[in-house]
Amino acid sequence: MKIKILIAVLLIAAGFFIYFQKENLFSPAQVYIPSNGLKQGDTLLIKIASPLSEGKITGEFNSKKIDFFQTTGKTKAAILGIDAKEKPGNYILIINYPDGKTIKKEINIAKTDFATTELLVTKELQKKGYTSQKIISNIQGKEALILKKVLGVYSPEAYFNKAFINPLKEIKPVGAFGTIRKTGSSTLQHLGVDLDAKTGTDVFAVNDGKVSLTQELPDYGKTLIVDHGLGIYSLYLHLNEFKASEGKLVKQGDIIGLSGNTGYSIAPHLHFSIKINGASVDPLVFIKTTQDGLTNR
């Protein structure tokens, strides 16, 4: 029997929902996009009603495989990241259903106008041996290699099944995601968000996962990384103290560290980052997108 496909677009305050509705066991598909459209650094969330019979739902976006996980409700979901440096333009979202049918939808990615500032090195940091060139060399060299090795491990199963939460009780951004920091002819892009936090403030695991790194690095300071599965990682930098060890399984809300001022840090704060299969995304937008798409739905 010919299967009818209904594509409807719905705009509401909480986000932009695209419904791909099919008259079979695997409907509907919902794509959650921030209400102002999709741009560099954003997060894309897809939800599909769980099949009433066994069958695997697969997909592809921007030539990357989409892996779905079971949520707390009767749905499957997938989370995709739009890297801060992704080329703006139109991309095709593909969803393959177990019955052999395929849905395709064009999604536009817009350019984000990230702010540009000077790379600041205070006199206090200079006394500790920091220079702008040394900072860039460390971050783009040794520290990049360490993070690449850790973040390159792909866990095929999700440790989590619900929306992500904030890493601090109070969220007060003091350093925006994506800011380009310049010094001479060199630049660094701030691929996380800096959150105001006094030294010793509890830092929480934003979701269930496995601690994959606890190490003090020259510029990132005491760094803790949690693997949430399916290529999703949360990173917590400049900590004063680790409260979880490598290899430990943590639950959402567990205290995994205390915020601090270690490494290249001008004042006590928490640098918080999210990586999705290598894509650097705005962590606060990421959390809101998962909460819009996965909380009580």
CATH topology of domain 5-109: Immunoglobulin-like (2.60.40)
Mean pLDDT of 109-126: 94
Structure tokens of 217? 């690095």
Contact 233, 159 (CB under 8 A): no
Structure tokens of 50? 């769980």
Rounded CA-CA distance 44/34 in Å is: 8
When computed from its CA atoms, the radius of gyration of the chain, rounded to whole angstroms, is 20
Structure tokens of 255? 């205290």
| Percent of the chain residues past pLDDT 90, beyond the cut | 71
What local confidence, expressed as pLDDT, does residue 7 receive?
28
What's domain 116-280's superfamily in CATH? Glucose Permease (Domain IIA) (2.70.70.10)
Mean pLDDT of 137-144: 93
Q: pLDDT class for 296, splitting at 50, 70, 90?
A: low
Mean pLDDT of 93-114: 90
Contact 58, 96 (CB under 8 A): yes
132: enclosing H helix or E strand: helix 132-140
Q: What residues does each domain of the chain span?
A: 5-109, 116-280
pLDDT over 70 at 52, yes or no: no
Mean pLDDT of 239-252: 99
Contact 97, 103 (CB under 8 A): yes
Cis status, amide bond into 28, omega within 30 of 0 = yes
pTM over 0.85: yes
pLDDT digits (tens, 9 = 90+) for 130-140: 999 999 999 99
